[in-house]
Structure 1
């Protein structure tokens, strides 16, 4: 039995919002859900030198937000249910701005505190966006999810490419703080797109809980969680250490390595827009396998022929962008109503990001123990294999609605 999907606020008494404006707000939000996080990897050496910390401690500035994505997801889901998606995301953007600024203040405690604020804010955004897309943009969910994933990678691309040049002129603190300007722009557009909406309080009756099968007993939720864990572990492991790998293996200077690593983020745009088409014509299971085959080019290519790094970053970047789209599409497809969509989003991202938080320190520790990049790249390959197996299983499970186009 399938429960009816609730109508969007524009259909229930709140002022109508043009779909283009809401999509613009989602894309600007997405730019800020990865950019401030990955910016640290571009200037990790001056941060270590200035703060007097070792590589493991510096890794916390990347891994702590990802740990928040996992552990704080239930809190974020509850907050969004109470505050409503519109108001909750706006509050999250204010907290994100505070985190970006506090992280750039003097001393390690400020850097850690700002990083935690940043992680908590991005967690709320991570949970909210798939729910907003599935609820308010259902007819074009696949395309909007693709654009959302592309915007995530645009944010990463901008920060990886520009943080080092900005830091060369102003210092790493100002370089990291400067990305707060994008947060302000996103907050203004989000407020404009959602102004006048009701706070969308949690419904008195949870339809997913009264359905024949409780949401947390559905196998698809847990299989998708495992698949997302493999996807996120591989992504954050590669993102955190690719600049260093390029410096070590190809003797690239830091500025060049940061720009080169951004190719991995730029190429995700192809996967973000290509995978929705592949989903429509090939189906979820075949799409997952194609994505995973492309993903393997990063670890295998950098092991066997690192001089061809451009090709591996392009194909692997396509895969990492596509992997996110296919998993979120399956979440939207499987959820029976908005409440279940929020819970699925929280479970899949919470479990996946908790595992992914270990990627930067684990890969860094393996590299330190072995002295080269062979073993760390094999760890990434194992994560991709997990994504392939769990994703193929999830893609074969029947859902209540067709894959959104």
Structure 2
């Protein structure tokens, strides 16, 4: 790998880190926020469920933006929006806190959709930089992205794994460090919320520099707005697209429900707030293992149906553990939940590329999966919170999540079949595992 490729991977890491810091930091400090503003459960839903709804509503904007700007340019704008929304949470005002959270979520919504597209673009640029004799391809000599299927598949799996691993870990990083950061700031939790804008600013600089580096090298069509120019209603008529969407939606419902409520569940059982926050950190850190490995496995399999069912099983065991109230094993349950979550998210993002014929189709499929998927995901924290309010117990909420693992496994099995979305599908040109 040359310097440009290495820097692209670094940028992917910085980018992925910014996509869940907002949620993890809010989750860890929910009790402090509610106590300071005397907020009831309905008001707090604006901070727990509101951002997830925004993820679904604003994800559809990604295709529109890609028709008018390069992928990296759109992502620079998204990261600036995320940084601004995160920073203003330090202002001592409930309306500003809510508005900043929702604004940041809007930026995350578009960035989520473009994550798989960015991976595909970087893999293509990575391949186009190389010749067998070590010389760089000229613009006239550059082959189609899929002329080296085995190499492209490995790189696609590797970079998707890196991105999803960082995304999965970022919520836990924010959750685990927000309480200690607040304590180091003498209880100034608002500053702790606002300071999470710092890593986002770093990501803005990295993405802007990456965009400039690619532009100087001579941008390929995949880097331009043409990525988002195809799609329309075709994706809505594709069974495999709906299967990927359902899998993405239910795994997101599971993930955001756990991010929003897992620390609170254990705090209500008498666990120290800092320790309960570290459970979410353990969940996120363990998710890195499957986030890194599952995409590499998926791109080597002719079908991913069995793998999709396999990544659901750790979540089933973990939820059964939480349901059992065996709090002495809480760390183990968190690790199992993390292993499931990392595998599910990374497989969903990998399928967005494997089931699509071109980068344009990947953008359309990603937009649909995350628009519909995150609207569905918003139901998770809302239902869990409502059921708890009605019963004053967390067991029914956990049971609801356990039941949702069934449609997730079914959707994953269907999405894992060898079928494709896109009018330009050429089976002989598709990467192995697609």
Does the 8 Å contact 2:318/2:337 carry over to 1? yes
Partner of 2:371: 350
Between the two proteins, the alignment pairs up a number of residues equal to 386
* Partner residue of 2:66 out of 77, 80, 83: 80
Is 2:84 aligned against 1:61?
A: no
| Root-mean-square deviation (Å) | 2.2
Counterparts of 1:98 and 1:403 in 2: how far apart (Å)?
41
* Partner residue of 1:202 out of 202, 215, 225: 225
How does the TM-score come out when normalised to structure 2? 0.84
Partner of 2:183: 168
Is 2:288 aligned against 1:238?
A: no
5 Å-filtered alignment, 1:43-122, equals 43-122=29-108
Residue ranges of structure 2 left out of the alignment (5+ in a row): 125-151, 421-426
Partner of 1:285: 305
Is 2:395 aligned against 1:374?
A: yes
What CA deviation, in whole Å up to 9, does each residue of 1:313-351 have, x standing for no partner?
Answer: 112201100101111111101111121111100000111
5 Å-filtered alignment, 1:3-402, equals 18-138=4-124, 139=152, 140-170=155-185, 171-195=188-212, 197=215, 200-203=223-226, 206=229, 214-249=234-269, 251-279=270-298, 280=300, 283-304=303-324, 305-399=326-420, 400=427, 401-402=430-431
Moved more, 391-400 or 36-45: 391-400
Does the 8 Å contact 2:11/2:206 carry over to 1? yes
Give the secondary-structure state (helix, strand or coil) at the position aligned to 1:137: helix
Give the secondary-structure state (helix, strand or coil) at the position aligned to 1:357: helix
Question: Aligned in 2, Cα 1:203/1:248: closer, same or farther, shift over 3 Å?
Answer: closer
Counterparts of 1:111 and 1:143 in 2: how far apart (Å)?
37
Deviation at 1:125, TM superposition (A): 1.0
What CA deviation, in whole Å up to 9, does each residue of 1:271-314 have, x standing for no partner?
Answer: 11221343235841111111111111221111123431121111
Deviation at 1:207, TM superposition (A): 5.7
Question: Aligned in 2, Cα 1:331/1:275: closer, same or farther, shift over 3 Å?
Answer: same
Question: Aligned in 2, Cα 1:106/1:148: closer, same or farther, shift over 3 Å?
Answer: same
Question: Aligned in 2, Cα 1:134/1:241: closer, same or farther, shift over 3 Å?
Answer: same
Question: Aligned in 2, Cα 1:365/1:96: closer, same or farther, shift over 3 Å?
Answer: same
